[in-house]
């Protein structure tokens, strides 16, 4: 041991692995908590990297929103003249104002001791409109009460206790995970498509910025960064994403006419064929001819998908054959023409298809032998505007429809002439806003868009399926609209996509007490710190030819090519030599070459053309040309007249 300590003394204290202190899980989740129990006013948080602490607005709502409401209505009051705390009276949520003077304070021997004896007369019995929760606490205490026994509570108080019990049961039934929140960022515009695989390990988000981002909870740390980014079709918005039942592939639908299939890691497997836009009958085309609006994978079959398009048709495809479709469905229209199909959906068993048509109608087809384009259920005037989302219930009896007319309708497909319920005042400005069920299908929820004059922001609205009434309104973002939403059954976490013209993201709401994996895993996983084992020696590479001493002279080829392209420099004549010559030119020879200079100086070259008469220079070859004509003269010998040469100019001048 002494030898080991002696060896260890030679190393610095920072050497070796260190045991990092574990951060308590409660502190980790406190950093992602949405609302503070001590806050008294629902003030939206500013836009930061942290999730918005946007309170939930509830009527009978979830447990987190009810706690905030009770703390807001019944704050604890502190007496400045006494160290004893004044007990507060808890009332029903329907009674926001306490009638009458407050109850007198009950003094005890020790505030912190629950077993202390009560001194003095007992407090007066509760009135009919008040509920005293302290009574139940006193009955549970073991202390001795001095004085006559308290009277039995009235029938009204018994009814209120039953109401409280029913509220608790309703809270257990509507446990919405709202306490904590994280945000998956990365998009620069509104996130219009969302898909979570069946196991809950990977999330896909598509946006109006033409990209798809892939997130993996198992490999993601607290930085919440995506591991892959795709651009399926350049210049086209991403409108729909859907996982296959086995989660090994996913479908991507964009504004183009061709849907794409990717594998789990984001590699392209194929692209469906595009139809001929010059063919009038859509049943004779091999594929869609205009932009797609929606697409969904078959819930049971891993090779079948459904797409809808602006060309007015729905098509069923086989993933194993990208060159042709299996079935073409043309919706029933009141008049001839092409009306876009804005959305589509499968039922849970994949035996029926629903489509929302641009004329406001909702049409349902049953997949059976010999079925055609005639719908089995036709709701002619379902909505007044485009339908943006459809959703079947698990039993196939209920159909939800979301529309741009700011409404959500619940339809009973057994009697589809009139909706069961219409929820209005739900702003919707995006063609991809959907509607969804909770995992137990006791709740219906959808997102709302931000309006110009409204201060509510983007909300998630939850409705009771049985009572068909509002349960809760949850604020997601004070400035961005909520487009897509989902509630994953295995993770028990709520997903909501938001965005506007400048930003976009995916909010994940969860509760550490009853949510599983997903956001809990990546929040608790801190970024990995480097240890001694990660040290890599980076050798210094010496390159002597990079030194200025060994560097080659710069080439002037590029400079010469640039000068040739210059119209001024390329047409400029060479200047005369004024000094010593260079490049084969001698300065004193007026631009002549060196060989010409030497021949002239040696007398080998004599320039006589300045002293010679041009007439005599030509006529000295006249005799030779007449004796031996070779080229042109023989061709004109018969017709050529006799040439008469003029006399010399010098002879005329002499006369």
Contacts 24+ apart (CB under 8 A), 641-644: none
Question: For the segment 598-617, what is each residue's pLDDT rounded down to a tens digit?
Answer: 666 666 666 666 677 888 88
Nearest to 446 by CA among 457, 456, 436, 458: 436
For the chain, the average pLDDT equals 77
Distance, in Å, from the CA atom of 76 to the CA atom of 72, rounded to the nearest integer, reads 10
pLDDT higher than 50, residue 56: no
Angle made by CA atoms 475, 481, 484, in degrees to the nearest 5 = 90
pLDDT at 110: 43
What residue spans define the domains of the chain?
A: 180-517, 580-606
First to last CA, the chain: 138
CB distance 281 to 338 below 8 Å: no
Angle made by CA atoms 558, 560, 564, in degrees to the nearest 5 = 115
CB distance 421 to 461 below 8 Å: no
pLDDT at 55: 45
Nearest to 293 by CA among 481, 432, 124: 432
pLDDT at 20: 53
Alpha-carbon separation of residue 585 from 313, 577, 593, 598 (angstroms): 82, 8, 5, 12
pLDDT at 233: 92
Percent of the chain's residues with pLDDT above 70: 67
pLDDT higher than 70, residue 43: no
Mean pLDDT of 550-560: 79
Task: Identify which has the larger pLDDT, 457 or 108.
Answer: 457
With b for 16 or more beta-carbon neighbours within 10 A and e for fewer, the 456-490 pattern comes to ebbbbbbbbbeeeebbbbbbbbbebbbbbbbbbee
pTM over 0.75: no
Residue 149, helix vs strand vs coil:
coil
Mean pLDDT of 454-459: 85
pLDDT higher than 60, residue 156: no
Residue 87 neighbours by CB distance under 10 Å: 16
Question: For the segment 310-328, what is each residue's pLDDT rounded down to a tens digit?
Answer: 999 999 999 999 998 999 9
Q: In what order do the strands lie in the sheet with 407-412?
A: 387-392, 398-403, 407-412, 421-423
pLDDT at 623: 81
Lowest mean pLDDT among 82-86, 142-146, 313-317: 82-86
Burial of 56 (0-12, 13-18, 19+ CB in 10 A): buried
pLDDT at 26: 75
Question: For the segment 226-274, what is each residue's pLDDT rounded down to a tens digit?
Answer: 999 999 999 999 999 999 999 999 999 999 999 999 999 999 999 999 9
Distance, in Å, from the CA atom of 175 to the CA atom of 454, rounded to the nearest integer, reads 28
Q: Torsion angle, CA of 124/127/132/135, rounded to 10 degrees? A: 40
Q: Residue 307's beta-bridge partner residues?
A: 295, 315
pLDDT at 68: 40
Domain spanning 180-517, CATH architecture? 7 Propeller (2.130)
Q: Torsion angle, CA of 514/519/525/527, rounded to 10 degrees? A: -160
Lowest mean pLDDT among 201-215, 366-380, 519-533, 558-572: 519-533
pLDDT at 4: 57
Percent of the chain's residues with pLDDT above 90: 42
Name the band, by pLDDT with cuts 50, 70 and 90, for residue 45.
very low
């Amino acid at each position: 041991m002494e030898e080991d300590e002696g060896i260890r003394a030679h190393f610095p204290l920072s050497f070796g692995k260190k045991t990092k202190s574990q951060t308590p899980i409660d502190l980790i989740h406190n950093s992602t908590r949405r609302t503070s129990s001590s806050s008294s006013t629902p003030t939206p948080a500013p836009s930061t990297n942290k999730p918005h602490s946007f309170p939930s607005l509830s009527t009978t709502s979830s447990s987190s929103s009810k706690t905030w409401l009770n703390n807001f209505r019944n704050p604890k009051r502190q007496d400045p003249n006494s160290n004893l705390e004044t007990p507060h009276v808890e009332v029903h949520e329907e009674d926001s104002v306490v009638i009458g003077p407050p109850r007198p304070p009950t003094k005890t021997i020790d505030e912190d001791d629950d077993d202390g004896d009560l001194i003095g007369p007992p407090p007066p019995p509760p009135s009919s409109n008040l509920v005293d929760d302290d009574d139940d606490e006193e009955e549970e205490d073991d202390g001795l009460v001095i004085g006559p026994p308290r009277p039995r509570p009235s029938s009204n108080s018994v009814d209120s206790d039953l109401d409280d019990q029913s509220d608790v049961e309703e809270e257990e039934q509507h446990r919405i995970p709202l306490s904590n929140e994280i945000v998956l960022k990365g998009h620069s515009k509104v996130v219009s498509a969302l898909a979570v695989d069946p196991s809950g390990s990977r999330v896909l988000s598509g946006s109006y910025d033409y990209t798809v981002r892939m997130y993996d909870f198992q490999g993601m740390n607290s930085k919440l960064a995506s591991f892959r980014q795709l651009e399926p079709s350049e210049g086209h918005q991403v409108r729909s994403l859907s996982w296959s039942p086995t989660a090994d592939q996913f479908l991507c639908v964009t504004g183009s006419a061709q849907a794409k299939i990717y594998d789990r890691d984001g590699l392209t497997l194929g692209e469906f064929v595009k139809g001929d836009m010059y063919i009038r009958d859509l049943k004779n085309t091999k594929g869609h001819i205009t932009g797609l609006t929606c697409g969904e994978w078959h819930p049971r079959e891993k090779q079948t998908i459904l797409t809808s398009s602006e060309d007015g048709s729905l098509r069923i495809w086989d993933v194993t054959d990208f060159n042709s479709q299996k079935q073409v469905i043309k919706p029933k229209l009141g008049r001839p023409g092409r009306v876009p199909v804005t959305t589509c959906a499968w039922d849970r068993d994949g035996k029926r298809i629903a489509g929302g048509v641009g004329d406001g109608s909702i049409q349902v087809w049953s997949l059976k032998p010999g079925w055609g384009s005639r719908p089995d259920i036709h709701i002619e005037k379902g909505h007044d505007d485009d339908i943006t989302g459809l959703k079947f219930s698990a039993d196939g009896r209920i159909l939800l429809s979301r529309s741009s007319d700011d409404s959500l309708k619940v339809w009973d497909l057994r009697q589809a002439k009139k909706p069961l319920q219409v929820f209005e005042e739900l702003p919707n400005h995006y063609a991809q806003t959907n509607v969804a069920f909770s995992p137990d299908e006791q709740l219906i929820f959808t997102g709302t868009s931000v309006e110009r004059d409204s201060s509510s922001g983007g909300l998630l609205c939850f409705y009771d399926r049985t009572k068909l009434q509002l349960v809760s309104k949850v604020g997601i973002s004070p400035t961005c609209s909520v487009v897509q939403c989902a509630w994953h059954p295995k993770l028990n976490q709520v997903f909501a996509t938001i965005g506007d013209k400048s930003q976009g993201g995916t909010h994940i709401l969860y509760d550490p007490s009853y949510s599983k994996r997903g956001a809990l895993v990546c929040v608790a996983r801190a970024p990995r710190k480097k240890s001694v084992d990660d040290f890599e020696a980076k050798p210094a590479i010496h390159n002597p030819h990079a030194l200025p001493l060994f560097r080659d002279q710069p080439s002037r080829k590029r400079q010469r090519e640039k000068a040739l392209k210059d119209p001024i420099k390329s047409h400029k004549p060479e200047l005369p030599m004024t000094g010593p010559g260079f490049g084969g030119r001698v300065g004193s020879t007026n631009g002549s070459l060196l060989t010409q200079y030497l021949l002239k100086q040696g007398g080998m070259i004599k320039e006589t053309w300045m002293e010679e008469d041009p007439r005599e220079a030509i006529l000295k070859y006249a005799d030779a040309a007449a004796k031996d004509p070779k080229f042109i003269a023989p061709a004109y010998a018969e017709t050529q007249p006799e040439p008469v040469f003029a006399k010399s100019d010098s002879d005329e001048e002499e006369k």
